Amino acid sequence: MTNDPISILSDLYTSEINWRIATSWETGFRATLGDGSDGIFAQSDFRTMEEAVDFLAKHAIRFFPNSTFANKHSARYYSQEQELIVEEEAAGVTASPLIQLEPAGDKGQRAG
């Protein structure tokens, strides 16, 4: 297993876990786990690309624990999982489902 950011991002893609990293001179790198179709699960800004990729990996394991990605990478991040929540609270990181969208076919339909 490698710590190479490109390999980690490729593994996220292969596991069909959506992610995005956007750059800005003022904020650095904004990492987003999820998308507008399935919802955004976690998002935060970082100074370096490596920190952004690490954030995506940790949160992919947290939100998709049964994924191929989690099976492959959880041993690397497992010991950090308990510390992750404390770090997020201290840093003010948003790490819960931010946007949950209804599937297109279910819009406007309510149960019973």
- pLDDT given for residue 36 in this prediction: 84
- DSSP tag of 94: B
**Helix residue ranges per DSSP H, the chain:** 5-14, 49-63, 68-91
Identify whether the C-beta of residue 42 lies closer than 8 Å to the C-beta of residue 21: no
Q: Rounded to the nearest 5°, which phi and psi values hold at 19?
A: -150, 165
Report the greatest alpha carbon distance in the chain: 50
Which of 98, 73, 76, 94 minimizes the C-alpha distance to 85?
Answer: 94
Which of 10, 17, 31 minimizes the C-alpha distance to 60?
Answer: 17
- pTM across the whole model: 0.70
% of the chain exceeding 90 in pLDDT: 54
pLDDT per residue as tens digits for the range 33-83: 999 888 999 999 999 999 999 999 999 999 999 999 999 998 877 655 555
Both tokens of 26, joined, read 């003022």
